[in-house]
Amino acid sequence: MRITMGVTGGVAAYKAAELVRLLQQDGFTVEVVMTRGAREFITPLTFAALTGQKVITDLFGNTENEANLESAIEHIAVAQRTDLLLVAPATADVIAKFARGIADDFLSTLYLASTAPVVVAPAMNVNMWNHPAMQENIAKLRERGVNVVQPNEGYLACGMVGAGRLAGHQEILAAVRETLHWNRDLTGETVLVTAGPTCEDLDPVRYLTNRSSGKMGYAVAQAAARRGAKVILVSGPTALETPPGIRRIDVRTAEQMHEAVTKEFAGCSIGIFAAAVADYRPARKHADKIKKSGGSLTVQLEPTVDILQEMARAKGDKFIAGFAAETADVEQNARKKLAAKNLDLLVANDVTAEGAGFDHDTNVVSLYFRDGRDMALPKMGKAEVAQRVLDEIVRLRGALRTKPAKRLSVV
């Protein structure tokens, strides 16, 4: 989902940078619009670096040469593609403009042009906040459905003490989720996620592995936890930090991952197998380092256990989703794997495609379903891919639970 974040001219503008990062961790794509006043406190370059997108600063372009038809109607394009408008911090000036319908810059024009839900997080002097005109404007916005995040009380930049501090990041995030009706739709579910590569030892210094970074699996685990699930993450070796609220089990080999999954999956309702488990391992692990002899070296490989197939074979009413990294014939291989392994959902991608696969923060995947349908997703961040995958899992789980039972004939 896409959030357009307005940053206005107040001391609290610097806090918006961290808020952008947290929104991205929640799986949102963030586009920033800055007012002229905001640029006195923090530079557009900061937000461009964080979001990887152009920061919008003026209604008609930043220079005379940039003033063209595209920039003149850009507020309409942004209004049409955004899922939510968030303004943090929101100054008294922009709140008054929103309340009175004044459109004299990009942000205020965007507000009028957009039909997306709006969240504003005010930040200002305590006397400004308490002024009757301000409270009247706030009341008008709330009447129109704007979610106003109440400012906190405390020591203000002006030296006064009282209401007017920008609300905490978690309070603003909670308002965003509430406004978008992000229900904790996985509450009550226990989700097992596998992630990362495995390492299959040849000798004490060499092993077979693959290029998986674990980013996709970790994004799925984090998204599931945020949607209310109890999450168990079985991870091969990665450099990633454990997402908050998740129990992580570290493994190294396919055999160790198999043991951990077998033990934990019995108590889970959903399994999402995103790990890149080695299909083969050396048949013999040498006790000492193999010395270079000058001739060729033959290494015999033996298959590892197929964890996904084994779990799916006796899944009962559990839901199982698998991932497939392909380099050719993606659809054909994906449908074959979906059927052969008795999966409810398969997420497949061509790891050779631009912006997809190992080490990237983005991915390009297609979802394949048991009923023969498929869904191709455009290139997006792995956090957003994770949300889309979970959306389908929630939908499919709901369909399975509401499926009417077969009627028995009584003779």
Homologous superfamily assigned to 2-179: Flavin prenyltransferase-like (3.40.50.1950)
Task: Return the domain boundaries, the chain.
Answer: 2-179, 190-289+296-402
- Tens digit of each residue's pLDDT (9 = 90 or more) over 38-78: 999 999 999 999 999 889 988 766 544 444 434 445 657 78
> Is 268 known to be catalytic?
no
Q: What are phi and psi of 101, to 5 degrees?
A: 75, 25
Q: What are phi and psi of 256, to 5 degrees?
A: -65, -40
Give strand ranges (E) for 308-365.
Answer: 319-326, 345-350, 362-363
Q: What are phi and psi of 384, to 5 degrees?
A: -75, -35
Distance between CA 279 and CA 333 in Å, rounded? Answer: 16
Homologous superfamily assigned to 190-289+296-402: CoaB-like (3.40.50.10300)
Question: What does the CA dihedral 321, 326, 330, 335 come to, rounded to 10 degrees?
Answer: -30
Q: Which of 158, 283, 299, 340 is catalytic?
A: 158
Is the predicted pLDDT of residue 211 greater than 70, yes or no?
Answer: yes
CB 205 within 8 Å of CB 220: no
- 88 closest CA partner among 48, 47, 139: 47
Angle at which helix 15-25 crosses helix 169-179, to 10 degrees, equals 50
pLDDT at 401 (0 to 100): 65
CB 368 within 8 Å of CB 332: no
CB 179 within 8 Å of CB 84: yes
- Tens digit of each residue's pLDDT (9 = 90 or more) over 369-385: 999 999 999 888 888 89
Give strand ranges (E) for 196-286.
Answer: 200-203, 206-208, 230-235, 247-250, 270-273, 280-282
- Tens digit of each residue's pLDDT (9 = 90 or more) over 262-271: 999 999 999 9
Report the predicted TM-score, pTM, of the whole model to 2 decimal places.
0.68
Is the predicted pLDDT of residue 330 greater than 70, yes or no?
Answer: yes
pLDDT at 294 (0 to 100): 82
Q: What is the mean pLDDT of residues 138-156?
A: 88
Asked if the domains at 2-179 and 190-289+296-402 fall in one CATH topology, the answer is yes
